[in-house]
Amino acid sequence: MRAWLPLAAVLCLAASSAEAASLRIAEVVGSGGACHALRADAPAGEKAYFRLLGDRLGREILTCPVVDRAAAAQALATGRLDVALLDPAAYAPVQATTRAILTVRPAGHLNRIPLVVVTKASGPATNLASLRGKSLVFGGSAEAALAAPRQALADQGAGPGFFSREDVAADADAAAAGLRSGAADALVLNTAAWQRLCQGVRSQDNRCGDLKVVWRGRRRATLALVVRRDIPDELRFRLIGIHVAMHIEAPGTFAWASSWLPGGAEFEPTEAEALALAAR
> Under rule CB under 8 A, which residues in 61-100 are in contact with another protein?
79, 82
Using CB under 8 A, which of 51, 120, 134, 196 touches another protein?
196
Residue 239 sits in the site that holds another protein (CB under 8 A): yes
x/- binding map, residues 97-136, to another protein, per CB under 8 A?
Answer: ----x--------xx-xx----------------------
Residue 233 sits in the site that holds another protein (CB under 8 A): yes
Element (H, E) at 106: strand 98-106
Residue 17 sits in the site that holds another protein (CB under 8 A): yes
CA 24 to chain centre: 20
Residue 245 sits in the site that holds another protein (CB under 8 A): yes
Between residues 108 and 161, which has the closer beta carbon with respect to another protein? 108
Between residues 78 and 127, which has the closer beta carbon with respect to another protein? 78
CA distance 206 to 263: 41
Residues 41-77 as b or e (16 or more Cβ within 10 Å = b): eeeeebbbbbebbbeebebebbbbbbeebbbbbbbbb
CA distance 173 to 181: 12
Using CB under 8 A, which of 257, 268, 275, 278 touches another protein?
268
CA 176 to chain centre: 29
Residue 257 sits in the site that holds another protein (CB under 8 A): no
Using CB under 8 A, which of 37, 44, 192, 279 touches another protein?
192
Residue 279 sits in the site that holds another protein (CB under 8 A): no
How many residues comprise the chain?
280
CA distance 210 to 25: 50
